[in-house]
Structure 1
Amino acid sequence: MSEQDSRVMHHPAVVAHRNSRAGDVQLRIADAITKFAGSMPFVYLHAVAFAVWMLSVESSPWPTLTLVVSLEAIFLSTFVMIGQNRQAAFQQIKADHDFVEQELELRTNTELTRAIHLMTTELHRRLIEDGAEQ
C-alpha cells in the first residue's frame, strides 16, 4: 500500500474486498498482470519486442508472430474477464453494504419521525389542557 493509500479513507466494502483479494495468491497474480497489461509500459515493451523480432530474430516472422500474438490475446482477454469479474464482485459487495446502511438510516429516520410526532402530540395535548384550565 502506498503512502497516499494509507492517508485516504476507503469505503468499508473497498477495504474488505481488497483484504479478501490480498489473501489469494492467484488473484494477486491476476491483478498484477491485469494492472501491467493495462499500462503504457506494456504497450512500449510490445512495440519494441515485436520490432526487434520482425527486424532481427526471424527472416520470416509472420507465422510465428501471428501465433504468439494470438496466444497472448487469448490470455490477455482472460485477464480482462478476471478483472471484470473482480469489479462486478466489488460492485455487488458495495451495493449490499450501501443497501444495509440505507436501510439502517431509513429505520433511524422513521424512529426519529415517530418520536417527534409523539412529542408534538403531547405538546399539543398539554397546550390544549392549559388553555382549557384558564
Structure 2
Amino acid sequence: MRRLEEAASQNRTFGDRVASFVARFCGSPTFVWVHAAAFGSWIARNVWPGVQHPDPFPFTFLTMWSSMEAIFLSSFILIAQNYAMRISERRDKLDVQINLLTEQEITKVLQMLQEIASAVGAGQKPDPEVRALAEATEHEALVEQIDQAAGVGREDLGAAGRR
C-alpha cells in the first residue's frame, strides 16, 4: 500500500503539488498569524493620526486584496480536495475489488469444506445458514436491498444508479 501511495504522490501534476502546498500552508497557524499581523499593521497604518493614509477607512484596497486572495485560496483548496477525492475514490475501488475477491474465495472455501465433510462422512444435519453463505452473492440484488433499507431509489442516485 505504501508503494501505491508513493506512486500516486509521484504522479501528481505540478498544479496538484502547488495546490496541496498552498492548502497545507493556509491551514496552518502560521498563515493565521501572518494575516493577523499584515491586516493589523495595514489598518493601523491607515488610521494612525498624522500619517498619510494610502487606503483610508473603509479600506477599499485591503477589501479588494483580501477578496481576491479568498478567491484564489478557495480555488487552491478545491483543487487539493479534488485530488484527495480522486485518491480516495481509487482506494475505494481497490477496496471493493479486494472485498469481492475475498467474498468469492470464502464462498469457494465453504463449498469445498461442505464437499470434504460429505466425502469423509462428517456430514451433520444441513445448516441453512452455511448453505446460504456457500452460494455466490448476487451483488446487484444486494445493492438493491441496501438502497431499499436506506430509503434511496435508483432515481435518487442519478447516473451512478444507472450503471
Taking structure 2 as the reference length, the TM-score comes to 0.63
The answer (yes or no) to whether the contact 1:13–1:97 under 8 Å persists in 2 is no
Is 1:29–2:18 an aligned residue pair?
yes
Kindly, what percent of the aligned residue pairs are identical? 26
Change in Cα spacing, 1:15 to 1:100, as seen in structure 2 (3 Å) is farther
Equivalent of residue 82 in structure 1, options 69, 79, 84: 79
In 2, the alpha carbon distance for the partners of 1:92 and 1:33 equals 23
The answer (yes or no) to whether the contact 2:19–2:77 under 8 Å persists in 1 is no
Change in Cα spacing, 1:96 to 1:16, as seen in structure 2 (3 Å) is farther
CA RMSD of aligned residues (A): 2.1
Taking structure 1 as the reference length, the TM-score comes to 0.75
Match runs of 1:22-101 below 5 Å = 24-56=13-45, 59=53, 60=56, 62-101=59-98
Q: Whose RCO is larger (CA < 8 A, sep 6+)? A: 1
Q: For each residue in 1:67-112, what CA deviation from the matched residue of structure 2 results, as whole angstroms up to 9, or x when unmatched?
A: 0010001001111211221222122101101011101111111111
Segments of 4+ in structure 1 off by > 4 A? Answer: 10-13
Please, which runs of 5 or more residues in structure 2 have no aligned partner?
A: 47-51, 123-163
Letter of the 2:32 counterpart: V
Letter of the 1:35 counterpart: R
The answer (yes or no) to whether the contact 1:30–1:82 under 8 Å persists in 2 is yes
In 2, the alpha carbon distance for the partners of 1:63 and 1:51 equals 15
Please, which runs of 5 or more residues in structure 1 have no aligned partner?
A: 1-9, 126-134
